[in-house]
């Protein structure tokens, strides 16, 4: 049992880093927006630092645990939600539908600029 969610980071070479959270589905768009907001000074021009900041923000204090979070390239191990993907090349976040077929992102639902996504979903921005 869980609330499985994935967050995508599409690199400029086209590969996607997926951050899997076993219990991350609750308020996942806010979690992702907060992580993107935390790397404002690095995204989109400094992928390696931005990747680390985003992943660190998502995982939070769970680094020492052996369960709960995972990282993969071009593959989602499990999922129960739509999938937000940040694209470094276009500086956009796209929300994708997901069918249960490993690594199959299907139709895109909506796209935002990074700033639009952060302003819409980040907890620090809501009601500001």
* Tens of pLDDT, residues 1-25: 689 999 999 999 999 999 999 999 9
pLDDT at 66: 85
Q: Cα separations (Å) of 85 from 1, 29, 49, 105, 127?
A: 24, 11, 17, 10, 24
pLDDT at 103: 61
pLDDT at 100: 56
pLDDT band with cut points at 50, 70 and 90 for residue 125: low
Report the predicted TM-score, pTM, of the whole model to 2 decimal places: 0.91
* Tens of pLDDT, residues 52-87: 999 999 999 888 888 899 999 998 888 889 999 999
pLDDT at 128 over 60: no
Backbone angles phi and psi of 55, in degrees to 5: -65, -45
């Amino acid at each position: 049992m869980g609330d499985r969610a994935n967050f995508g980071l599409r690199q400029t070479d086209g590969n996607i880093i997926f951050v899997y959270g076993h219990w991350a589905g609750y308020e996942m768009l806010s979690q992702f927006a907060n992580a993107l907001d935390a790397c404002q000074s690095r995204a989109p021009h400094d992928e390696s630092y931005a990747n680390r900041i985003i992943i660190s923000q998502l995982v939070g204090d769970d680094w020492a645990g052996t369960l709960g979070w995972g990282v993969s390239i071009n593959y989602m191990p499990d999922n129960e939600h739509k999938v937000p993907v940040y694209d470094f090349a276009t500086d956009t976040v796209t929300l994708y539908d997901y069918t249960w077929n490993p690594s199959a992102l299907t139709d895109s639902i909506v796209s935002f600029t990074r700033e639009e996504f952060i302003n819409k979903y980040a907890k620090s921005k809501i009601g500001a």
